[in-house]
Amino acid sequence: MPGNKAVIYKGAGKVEVETIDYPTFELKDGPGVNPDNVGRQVPHGAILKVVASNICGSDQHMVRGRTTAPQGLALGHEITGEVVETGRDVEFIKVGDLVSVPFNIACGRCRNCKEGKTGVCLNVNPDRPGSAYGYVDMGGWVGGQAEYALVPYADWNLLKFPDKDRAMAKILDLAMLADIFPTGFHGCVTAGVGPGSTVYIAGAGPVGLAAATSAFLLGAAVVVVADLQKQRLEQARSFGCETIDVSQGDPKDQLAQILGEPEVDSAVDAVGFEAHGHGDSAQEERPATVLNTVMDVTRAGGAVGVPGLYVTGDPGASDDAAKIGSLSIRLGLGWAKSLAFTTGQCPVMRYNRQLMMAILHDRTQIAKNVNATVIPLDQAPQGYVEFDKGAARKYVLDPHGMIA
């Protein structure tokens, strides 16, 4: 049996590439595996040769030591691959298929899956509803920043690309279907973005830029992206976004200069709990800043999408309340404005097929907009370091040299 090189979390600030077991159709014990998931049989699964596996801001929360992720966890939830083996219960997915893997692991059998809420599947994670590959508190499914990965409930979870050659020609764009493109799109849809909308997007990381790309796809009139990293703001401007540097002060003032009024129809939080403050406090963390700003800048009756991650446990938080995810948000303001508010994992399956079609038919350029950058699996540790420093790039690991 071949080995399986994978990116392993080694404690705060450190990842390494190590060889782990080649996947089998059984969930084995290991770092972060819930005891109730050990020995779980996966005859409905498929083993993929990983073609692309991206580094995500969600991984960075763990790698910065801001979660309870155990050392030894194999990382990676943004997987695109080629099927090399199928379990005996897989009916429709075939060996050789080129597929995108939604980062949410879902059973397709529970009440939530039946309602399309695949981000909170009830059957894959004994700890809580919702699961993902290579992630803390998500049941222990092995991560896919690796040469090979196991995907359970393959017929349900996998999105097959209709034509392999055409897909390989756009593989960098299609690699964004596993997470950030649907996630940014979901942020915009739940924020009510449509033709002619004005949109405020907090965060010019890959998710923020994917949300901006989605806003244009949905017909937005003006897309304003905010961050404090100049390179990332420049990347947002490269495809037609207006930008706000939050280190220069309250974004509301800058919004008024851009739009002629200090509010927007829709706002998206693509930052999450490691948010920085604005103006003078821009170099410090203020976990509730973005939540309060999106409520502040959204018009009465508007909606806010919150794909940015908020946690139930943050060992690195500066105060005790934030250590258990309790933040000081001005809910009264949101209530007074009748704002709608959507949080949580993006149910990727709700959008990935439509976004695949938009990519294949040249309606959107997601890889260019997020500056997708291919690196070999062995260079993942450097990729993590550069991404953490705020590189205006979305790193795509290429474990078998199939892209580069």
Ligand X SMILES: NC(=O)c1ccc[n+]([C@@H]2O[C@H](COP(=O)([O-])OP(=O)(O)OC[C@H]3O[C@@H](n4cnc5c(N)ncnc54)[C@H](O)[C@@H]3O)[C@@H](O)[C@H]2O)c1
Q: Which residues lie near ligand X (CB under 6 A)?
A: 56-58, 60-61, 179-180, 183, 202-208, 226-229, 232, 246, 270-272, 275-276, 278, 289-290, 307-309, 345-346, 390
Nearer to ligand X by Cβ, of 23 and 206: the residue is 206
One-letter amino acid for residue 233 of the chain: L
Beta bridge partners of 269: 202
Residue 168 interface partner, choices ligand X, Zn ion, none, CB cut-off 5-8 Å depending on type: none
Min separation Cβ 316 and ligand X, Å: 14
Min separation Cβ 313 and ligand X, Å: 15
Min separation Cβ 293 and ligand X, Å: 7
Nearer to Zn ion by Cβ, of 132 and 202: the residue is 132
- Dihedral sign from CA coordinates of 368, 142, 133, 380: negative
Nearer to Zn ion by Cβ, of 105 and 339: the residue is 105
Residue 289: helix, strand or coil by DSSP? helix
Nearer to ligand X by Cβ, of 123 and 292: the residue is 292
Both tokens assigned to 276: 């920085």
Closest CA to 347 of 50, 121, 10: 121
Nearer to ligand X by Cβ, of 208 and 399: the residue is 208
Residue 256: helix, strand or coil by DSSP? helix
Q: Which of residues 68-97 bind Zn ion (CB under 5 A)?
A: 78
Residue 364 interface partner, choices ligand X, Zn ion, none, CB cut-off 5-8 Å depending on type: none
Phi/psi at 286 (5° precision): -140, 90
- Residue 395's CB is within 10 A of a number of other CB atoms, namely 23
110 lines the binding site for Zn ion (CB under 5 A): yes
Nearer to Zn ion by Cβ, of 45 and 302: the residue is 45
Residue 107 interface partner, choices ligand X, Zn ion, none, CB cut-off 5-8 Å depending on type: Zn ion
179 lines the binding site for Zn ion (CB under 5 A): yes
The residues near 164 (Cβ < 8 Å, ≥ 6 apart) are: 96, 98
Closest CA to 213 of 178, 262, 176, 166: 176
One-letter amino acid for residue 206 of the chain: P
209 lines the binding site for Zn ion (CB under 5 A): no
Closest CA to 184 of 220, 151, 154: 220
Residue 113 interface partner, choices ligand X, Zn ion, none, CB cut-off 5-8 Å depending on type: Zn ion
Min separation Cβ 58 and Zn ion, Å: 5
46 lines the binding site for Zn ion (CB under 5 A): no
113 lines the binding site for Zn ion (CB under 5 A): yes
Q: How far apart, in whole angstroms, are the C-alpha atoms of residue 93 and residue 107?
A: 16
Residue 255 interface partner, choices ligand X, Zn ion, none, CB cut-off 5-8 Å depending on type: none
Q: Which of 6, 121, 209, 375 binds Zn ion (CB under 5 A)?
A: 121
The residues near 301 (Cβ < 8 Å, ≥ 6 apart) are: 337, 338, 339
58 lines the binding site for Zn ion (CB under 5 A): yes
Residue 308 interface partner, choices ligand X, Zn ion, none, CB cut-off 5-8 Å depending on type: ligand X
Q: How far apart, in whole angstroms, are the C-alpha atoms of residue 310 and residue 331?
A: 16
Nearer to ligand X by Cβ, of 103 and 148: the residue is 103
| Burial grade of 257 (CB within 10 A; 0-12, 13-18, 19 or more) | exposed
Residue 182 interface partner, choices ligand X, Zn ion, none, CB cut-off 5-8 Å depending on type: none
- Residue with nearest beta carbon to Zn ion: 56
Min separation Cβ 333 and Zn ion, Å: 30
Q: How far apart, in whole angstroms, are the C-alpha atoms of residue 175 and residue 197?
A: 28
Both tokens assigned to 79: 């997987």
Contact indicator for 34, 58 with CB cutoff of 8 Å: no
Contact indicator for 352, 173 with CB cutoff of 8 Å: no
Min separation Cβ 220 and Zn ion, Å: 23
Strands (E), 129-275: 148-151, 159-160, 198-202, 222-227, 242-245, 264-269
Beta bridge partners of 7: 17
Min separation Cβ 103 and Zn ion, Å: 6
Q: Binding segment for Zn ion among 119-127, 208-216, 271-279, 329-337 (CB under 5 A)?
A: 119-127
242 lines the binding site for Zn ion (CB under 5 A): no
Q: How far apart, in whole angstroms, are the C-alpha atoms of residue 397 and residue 69?
A: 21
Which residues here bind Zn ion, judged by CB under 5 A? 56, 58, 78, 106-107, 110, 113, 121, 123, 179
